[in-house]
Structure 1
């Protein structure tokens, strides 16, 4: 008597090429989005040091930890107007009598200070 052949297990489904391409596309999209976000963040960090008289600024932080950013003077969040710029100094006392207050900053590029510093004399435009 001969034995009947045993049915074999069905073959494992092969990964479709479309699924693999989709995974690669999603991974590439995420990497590109993260890279673009990083570039935008780094590019926007130093724009305040290019402020000129007549530019407007907003504070996205608070009085203790200010996060000043340039904005259009017609923007609803515009708070202050630059009336004087003093490069290479953090002495905001130079703004006394010129503006409502002075804001100074030393630029920090990650772990190493760049040494670039400036003071902006600002008037509150929400009065």
Structure 2
């Protein structure tokens, strides 16, 4: 396999990785939105003194408050962290693709120069 073929296969692989990563970012972003919209279900049914009261109700309400805090952490902090990591990886892949494109251009010029030198030497 020539160096040019190697570079072309590498760039094809990086582009495929970038497409898959961008698709995953879009999906995760959509899931985050859906997850945030469903936060209301953590608070249902609403507990009032007429529906449920007493020590068990208080204990349940404390658990629900912990769930809300965990839900908030997961839906905002953890998913945003994952999205940031994925965006950083996508940026890295874009830079790698640019470098490979530059290397391909350089290799093409080198090969053209070699061919010119061979023609001139004959």
Q: Which has the bigger relative contact order, CA under 8 A and spacing at least 6?
A: 2
Same topology, TM > 0.5: no
**Bigger share in strand:** 1
Normalized against structure 1, the TM-score is what? 0.32
Normalized against structure 2, the TM-score is what? 0.32
**Bigger share in helix:** 2
